[in-house]
């Protein structure tokens, strides 16, 4: 990507950096952006599923494609080590989103 004299990469977290758990990701797409909305799913009644969204992130189409490639590579490595990731819900974890 860069010539032989690649710049030094420095990564830092901003003062408001935080980490959160998400088991729901909704995606909206338009000509200019991909919008990922992260949340958590809970089900307290058999006929009601609640999704509480807590963070939205806009990505350029190029960055979205780079993220998809990165996720696919890491999923392949994970499955090679730990076995296939099954998408069917198991043990009352609720629906997949």
In a domain, 31, yes or no: yes
| Contact between 44 and 38 (Cβ < 8 Å) | no
For 10-32, the pLDDT digits (tens) are 999 999 999 999 999 999 999 99
Structure tokens at 10: 């420095």
Q: Which domain holds residue 39?
A: 24-82
In a domain, 46, yes or no: yes
pTM for this model (two decimals): 0.75
For 27-64, the pLDDT digits (tens) are 999 999 999 999 999 998 999 999 999 999 999 999 99
Instruction: Evaluate if residue 90 carries a pLDDT over 70.
Output: no
| Contact between 60 and 68 (Cβ < 8 Å) | no
Q: How many domains does the chain have?
A: 1
In a domain, 69, yes or no: yes
In a domain, 55, yes or no: yes
What 29-34 contacts at long range (C-beta under 8 Å, 24+ apart), as own/partner pairs, is 32/60, 32/61, 33/58, 33/59, 33/60, 33/61, 34/58, 34/59, 34/60, 34/61, 34/63, 34/64
User: What is the model's pLDDT at position 97?
Assistant: 47
């Amino acid at each position: 990507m860069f010539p032989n004299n690649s710049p030094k990469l420095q990564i830092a977290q901003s003062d408001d950096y935080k980490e959160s758990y998400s088991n729901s990701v909704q995606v909206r797409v338009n000509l200019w952006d991909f919008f990922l909305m992260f949340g958590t799913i809970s089900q307290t009644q058999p006929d009601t599923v609640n999704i509480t969204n807590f963070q939205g992130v806009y990505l350029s189409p190029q960055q979205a494609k780079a993220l998809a490639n990165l996720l696919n590579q890491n999923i392949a490595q994970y499955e090679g080590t730990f076995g296939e990731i099954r998408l069917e819900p198991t043990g009352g974890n609720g629906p997949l989103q």
